Every structure is written in C-alpha cells, then in structure tokens.
Amino acid sequence: MSVASVRFENVTKAYGKVVAVRDISFAVEAGTLVTLLGPSGCGKTTTLRMIAGLELATGGRIFIEGQDVTHLPATARDVAMVFQSYALFPHMTVVENVGYGLSVTRRPKAEVRERAEAALATVGLAGYGERLPAELSGGQQQRVAVAR
C-alpha cells in the first residue's frame, strides 16, 4: 500500500443551490493521520468522496501526490474508501426511503407521506424530503435510516 499526500486548494462542492463544501484549503502530508470532525451536514463525507473521486469538485483543485486529480474519475485515482452503509435506496427521495415500509404494507399514500415527514422532522430533517440520499451528508443519511 502506498501512502500519498493530499492537498485541497479553494475546493467547493455544490449540488445546485446547496453548497456542501465551501472554499476549503488544507494539506495532509503522507503518513499523517487526520480526523475530520464537525456537525452533521458540514461536508465531512463530501470532502472524503471528492478525494476518492466519487464526487467531483465544482470549484478549486485537488492534488494527490502532487498530481492534479480534480477532474479525474475514481477509477483513475489510487484511493480506497470504506463506507458507512445505511441501506438507503439511492433512486428514491428521502421521504420515499422513510415511508417505504409503510408503502409496502399498502397504507394510503397521504398517510405514508404525513408519517414520513413527521419522522423526518423528529430527526431534524424537515424540508429534506425531496432530496436524494447522495445529496445528504453521512450524518444526515444516518438520520434518514433512523427515521425509516
């Protein structure tokens, strides 16, 4: 296993009007252990996904071992990542994921929606119902799984 340095220069990642990571710059030297710590939704998982090439930056530059990898796909980077899996359906919206169990029991659509929205509000995700899981931070995805 090789060890590489990573450098972000003014990196931003936006999903439409939602900015997940705004203008961050940092460098991690080869062999250094780093922890990303912050509240849910602050961009930790998105930052890691950009290093791996699973998300492409919408601004700035990313370097691995001095090579600009900003526009390279994940397959062109020698990076591995371990995921936290919450078994969310990636093709369903957040509210559809939360209401899935009720919908397969053939509950009325209005009831499913109402109960799913209430569960999202309980976990602090009111207003996130129409997003896809990939548009959420890892912590937010975890809360969707809890709401479900």
Report how far residue 126's alpha carbon sits from residue 96's, in angstroms, rounded to the nearest whole number. Answer: 14
Enclosing H/E stretch for 114 = helix 109-122
Express each pLDDT in 129-148 by its tens digit: 999 999 998 889 989 988 99
CB contact at 8 A, 105 and 71: no
Express each pLDDT in 17-61 by its tens digit: 999 999 999 999 998 888 888 888 899 989 999 999 999 999 999
CB contact at 8 A, 115 and 99: yes
Burial class (CB in 10 A: 0-12, 13-18, 19+), 86: middle
The average pLDDT across 114-139 equals: 95
Report field, pTM of the whole predicted structure over 0.75: no
Q: Is the pLDDT of residue 1 over 50?
A: no
For the domain made up of 6-76, the CATH class stated in words is alpha beta
